[in-house]
C-alpha cells in the first residue's frame, strides 16, 4: 500500500511534466513556423 501511495502521485506528476514539455515544444515549433 505504501509503495502504491508513493508511486501513483509520482506517475501523475511525471505524466503532467511530460505532457507540459511536449506542449511547449509543439507550441514553440508552430510559433517559429
Predicted local distance difference test score (pLDDT) of residue 4: 82
CA distance linking residue 20 with residue 15, whole number of Å: 8
Predicted local distance difference test score (pLDDT) of residue 6: 86
pLDDT by residue for the chain (33 residues), tens only, comes to 677 888 999 999 999 999 999 999 888 876 655
| DSSP collapsed to 3 states, the chain | CHHHHHHHHHHHHHHHHHHHHHHHHHHHHHHHC
CA distance linking residue 6 with residue 1, whole number of Å: 9
pTM confidence score: 0.61
Tell the residue number behind the cell numbers 505524466, with chain if given.
15
Amino acid at each position: 500500500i505504501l509503495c502504491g501511495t508513493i508511486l501513483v502521485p509520482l506517475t501523475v506528476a511525471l505524466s503532467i511534466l511530460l505532457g507540459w514539455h511536449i506542449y511547449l515544444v509543439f507550441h514553440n515549433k508552430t510559433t517559429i513556423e
